[in-house]
Amino acid sequence: MKLRAHVILVGWLASLVLGLAACGGEKTTPSVCEGAAAVPVACTQICTPGYPNSCPAGFHCEEQKDGRGKCDANCSANDKRCGDDATCSAEGRCQKESIVFRILDFPGTKWIFLILALVMPLASILTWMERRQSAMMQDRLGPNRANIGPIKLKGILHFVADAVKMIFKEDFIPANVHKGLYALAPILAIAPVFIAFAIIPFGPTIYPHAVTQTLDPTLLAMQPNADMFREAIRLQMFQVDFGLIFYFAVLTLANYGGTIAGWASYNKWALLGGLRSSSQMMSYEVAMGLSLMGAFLVIGSLEPGFIVMHGASASMSASNPLNWLWLWQPLGLVLFFTAAIAETKRAPFDIPEGEPEIIGYFVEYSGLRWGLFFLAEFIEIVFVAAVVATVFLGGWQVPFLDADGFRIGGYVDEVTKVSVGGWYTPLPHGLVVALQFGAFGAKVLLLCWFQLMIRWTLPRFRADQLMNLGWKLLLPLALANVMVTALIKLFFM
């Protein structure tokens, strides 16, 4: 009976996979004539497929399933007559999107790819990287024992041992805690960080039908609906004009995780850590928000993808490092990076934990719940690095690498906004995408390493020093940066 059940299950799964494959392979072309409120007379006209001028102007000959032809009205890029599941080609034909494309272009698919391919591996390796880096700075060996058989890799597998330990460790819950809030706090600490990654563009737009070809940026600018550009997949989940405001709105919720953990634990030291966490959040979020106002004044948008695609000046290519905001907003970069590190509540800004004093708001947590707080801290490091790389360091842009290959020199055409001229080396689209995705990962990794270096270099601030830094130094500098940028924008740009 068990064997029969397994055979039936395998057969059902196989039929499901084959059915999906068949759906993805079939590209039935929807008819514009069928969707018209008043069907034109030409829609009923019989034609011969492959022969020009067999249909009136504004119509094309569409081959039917029986091999005969029938005139169908041309669509345009601006109307919606093709329906929600089809796009209009440059030839005026409705083309149905394959189910494979719809799955790959689904925001959830992109989110899963980003989390599993970049965020979680990097956050996990950072736990080993921090121990190894601190050991090197303190003249110790550091983690070097975790292994799978003969594979040691200098102890890099320690994060696997950490995960196994936290999963199987006893989940002890004190008697006096508020059960609901106690369970909710770790989720509030980690979930908003995952959600905030929705605004991060982690790569360029992929054109699956042109992976092996060299893109023509001029053709892309003038005819974005050409066949080679259809079914484009943009490597960004949530594209809205208020993208960076969404970042602040969501990340604010993560700070409630520590506050609620301190309140629900029924422990005075945990409560003190939660209160410190709230005060630190309020002190540095104001300066962090104002530090991005300068970037908004320069570029005119808060959408991260727009910032990466266009750069600070329209007269230079977006891939030119001189067009990235690190040069146009150096003070904004320093202020934002400092305030963002303070928001992660890590040394030298670890006042909410303060191990020699109060331990922290998660003092009553153990097992996997404590592990969620620990993991959220490292994921925040990755997210801060991703935001800084996106806004100030060009995101996925590779220096002097345009959509069609490497280009040094040249100029930006005023009509198409495409770089032309100069020294040029063409590259296939697939290789360009791989290089740009790798560049984004390298920038994020470098900024993560820099945050770990700060953690093991600077001593911890006192609570009063932390407040003074936020309110008396960062905030006035952020306001001055906004005013100076506005004046330069008004009189010189």
pLDDT higher than threshold 50 for residue 15: no
* Structural domain includes residue 4: no
pLDDT digits (tens, 9 = 90+) for 65-108: 776 787 877 776 555 566 656 667 666 666 666 787 778 888 88
* Structural domain includes residue 418: yes
pLDDT digits (tens, 9 = 90+) for 382-413: 999 999 999 999 999 999 999 999 999 888 88
pLDDT at 46: 79
For residues 123 and 379, the answer to whether their CB atoms sit within 8 Å is yes
* Structural domain includes residue 169: yes
pLDDT at 41: 66
454 burial (CB, 10 Å; 0-12 / 13-18 / 19+) is middle
Task: List Cβ neighbours of 394 (8 Å cut-off, separation of 6 or more).
Answer: 308, 311, 318, 319, 321, 323, 324, 443
Give the domain extent around 411. 110-492
pLDDT at 13: 40
- Our count of domains for the chain comes to 1
* Structural domain includes residue 96: no
431 to 33, 206, 435, 441: CA distances (angstroms) = 41, 11, 6, 15
Q: What is the mean pLDDT of residues 154-164?
A: 88
When mean pLDDT is compared over 68-72, 151-155, 213-217, the highest value belongs to 213-217
* Structural domain includes residue 335: yes
pLDDT at 412: 87
pLDDT higher than threshold 50 for residue 239: yes
**Radius of gyration, alpha carbons of the chain:** 28
pLDDT at 302: 93
* Structural domain includes residue 26: no
Supply the mean pLDDT for the chain.
Answer: 84
* Structural domain includes residue 3: no
The pTM of this model reads: 0.82
* Structural domain includes residue 320: yes
Tokens representing 334? 């320093």
pLDDT higher than threshold 80 for residue 7: no
